Amino acid sequence: MKSKKSIIETAIATFRLESEAILNLIPHINDDFVAVIEAILASKGRVIITGIGKSAIIAQKIVATFNSTGTPAIFMHAADAVHGDLGMIQQNDVVICLSKSGNTPEIKLLAPLLKQSGNLLIGMLGKIDSDLARNADLILNTSVEKEACPHNLAPTTSTTAQLAMGDALAICLLEAREFNTEDFARYHPGGSLGKRLYLKAGDIALKNEKPSISPNASVKDVIIEISKNRLGAVVVIDQNKVAGIITDGDIRRMLEKYTDLANIKAVDLMNVNPKKIGKEELALLALEMIKQNNITQLLVMDGEMYCGMIHLHDLLDEGII
């Protein structure tokens, strides 16, 4: 068993090797890289990404990143390609083949077939004197000096370089397509990430009650209304307009200040400047307003009309936080 110090040193050495490998890709961002971006943007088809072994796993990740950022892509396993999956490639598709050596038996068989199909073949490879390189129309050079593996065998640094090159392609394509947050939300409607980009304040308010009370309501009625709706506050409505808000904090402060509660009305307790948000604003903005103002509730408005209330707990429940 290695010592704690030795384990830490090995981990740090791995980070250094892999980070250096990524930085060493910079000289390979050349005319071929630009041509790849231009070809994908001009294509009326999809990007077919293929590989074998660890390169196949990286290829699947690149496909996922492309699809989520506006570039249609499909994964094709190199071993399955020669057993029927070549049929998934259409006339206008662009093909990217990942391989460290460019000379594995499957790639040596597949590369000429891809070339004969007439599709643009892009080789993302670690050896530019390989079979894949000779068949490729464009080359993305992801060569590395050595693997992080002490035996220089297990794909580690090389797959990190492939992953980084795939990310660089995806981000360049994203920017070229002017892919924005609204587009991102359309492709990521599920989970907290999507909600941060599309969920509106009005959507949350609709799930809650609309606690309200008149200016002349008694303290007892105020407390009942706050407790009943479990939002920690009630809105004071005067002539169909928002006059103010009373929170459970206001109630506590009142109890500290007064002993005779008989003549106290809602109008005496309310804050006349409640924080508000339009119903079409994103829930993410509601969170920012709550944090900036150190409050727990926001009134949701449709112009001058009171639509409901958002509580900090609603944002927690929705995964916005």
Residue 216 domain-assigned (yes or no): yes
Instruction: Residue 127: name the closest of 109, 150, 144 by CA.
Output: 144
> Token pair for residue 223?
């407390």
- The rounded Cα 58 to chain-centroid distance in angstroms is 19
Q: Which structural domain range is residue 128 located in?
A: 4-179
pLDDT bracket for residue 228 (50, 70, 90): confident
To 5 degrees, how large is the angle CA 187–CA 192–CA 196?
A: 75
Q: Which of 151, 45, 125 lies closest to 89, judged by CA?
A: 45
Please list, residue by residue across 101-136, b when 16 or more beta carbons sit within 10 angstroms of its beta carbon and e when fewer do. ebbbebbbebbeebbeeebbbbbbbbbeebbbbebb
Question: Any binding-site annotation on 188?
Answer: no
Q: pLDDT: is 277 or 230 the higher one?
A: 277
Judged against a pLDDT cut of 80, whether residue 245 lies above it is answered with yes
Q: What is the spatial distance between Cα 66 and Cα 267, in angstroms, rounded to a whole number?
A: 57
Domain count for the chain: 2
What CATH number does residue 270 fall under?
Answer: 3.10.580.10
Domain co-membership, 90 together with 163: yes
Q: Which of 138, 139, 137, 115 is nearest to 127 (CA)?
A: 139
Which residue did the predictor score with more confidence, 193 or 184? 184
Last residue within a domain, chosen from 179, 211, 245:
179
**152 and 244 share one domain:** no
The reply to whether 130 falls in a domain is yes
Backbone CA torsion sign across 166, 171, 176, 178: positive
The verdict on residue 91 lying in a domain is yes
| pLDDT, position 191 | 60
Do 134 and 281 fall into the same domain? no
Give 223's contacts (C-beta < 8 A, 6+ positions apart): 251
Ranges 8-12, 173-177, 207-211, 257-261: which has the least confidence:
257-261
Q: Do residues 222 and 309 both lie within one domain?
A: yes
Instruction: Check which CATH number belongs to the domain holding 99 and give it.
Output: 3.40.50.10490
CA-to-CA distance for 141 and 144, rounded, in angstroms? 9
Q: Do both 207 and 169 map to the same domain?
A: no
Which domain-ending residue is among 144, 179, 214? Answer: 179
Domain contains 87: yes
Query: 33 with 146, same domain?
Result: yes
Which candidate, 280, 268, 283, places its Cα nearest to that of 316?
283
Let me know if residue 187 belongs to a domain. no
- The confidence score (pLDDT) of residue 259 equals 72
Q: Are residue 105 and residue 250 in the same domain, yes or no?
A: no
Same domain, 88 and 218: no
208 occurs within a structural domain: yes
Q: What gap in Å lies between CA 146 and CA 75, rounded to an integer? A: 27
Spatial separation of the C-alpha atoms in residues 203 and 74, rounded to whole Å: 35
Q: Is the domain of 175 the same as that of 205?
A: no
Q: Do 137 and 239 have their domain in common?
A: no
Q: Are residues 147 and 211 in the same domain?
A: no
What percentage of the chain exceeds 70 in pLDDT? 95
Q: Three-state DSSP class for 195?
A: helix
- Give residue 192's pLDDT: 59
Q: What's the average model confidence in pLDDT over 4-13?
A: 94
Q: Please tell me whether residues 272 and 135 are part of one structural domain.
A: no
Is 108 inside a domain boundary? yes
- Out of 148, 179, 210, a domain closes at 179
Residue 243: its pLDDT value, please?
93
pLDDT tens-place string over residues 197-220: 678 899 999 888 899 999 999 989
pLDDT digits (tens, 9 = 90+) for 91-137: 999 999 999 999 999 999 998 888 888 899 999 999 999 999 999 99
Average pLDDT over residues 176-192: 73
pLDDT, residue 255, reads 84
Residue 186 lies in a domain: no
Question: Does the pTM exceed 0.75?
Answer: no
Beta pairing, strands 120-125 & 212-213: unpaired
